[in-house]
Amino acid sequence: GQNIDQPTEMTATEGAIVQINCTYQTSGFNGLFWYQQHAGEAPTFLSYNVLDGLEEKGRFSSFLSRSKGYSYLLLKELQMKDSASYLCAHASGGSYIPTFGRGTSLIVHP
Partner 1 sequence: DTGVSQDPRHKITKRGQNVTFRCDPISEHNRLYWYRQTLGQGPEFLTYFQNEAQLEKSRLLSDRFSAERPKGSFSTLEIQRTEQGDSAMYLCASSSRGAGANVLTFGAGSRLTVL
Q: Is 92 in the site for partner 1 (CB under 8 A)?
A: no
Q: Could you give phi then psi for residue 82, rounded to 5 degrees?
A: -80, -5
Q: Is 43 in the site for partner 1 (CB under 8 A)?
A: yes
The region of 17-25, 40-48, 60-68, 70-78 touching partner 1 under the rule CB under 8 A is 40-48
The region of 10-18, 41-49, 64-72, 75-83 touching partner 1 under the rule CB under 8 A is 41-49
DSSP state of 26: -
- Smallest distance, partner 1 to C-beta of residue 37, A: 9
Distance CA 79, CA 25 (A): 32
86 beta partners: 36, 104
Q: Is 69 in the site for partner 1 (CB under 8 A)?
A: no
Between residue 10 and residue 29, which ones bind partner 1 under the rule CB under 8 A?
A: none
Question: Dmax of the chain from CA atoms?
Answer: 45
Rg (CA), the chain: 13
Q: Which is nearer to partner 1, 70 or 100 (CB)?
A: 100
Which CA distances in Å does 88 have to 14, 15, 79, 109?
23, 23, 20, 23
The binding site for partner 1 (CB under 8 A) comprises 1, 4, 8, 30-31, 33, 41-45, 48, 50, 87, 89, 91, 95-103
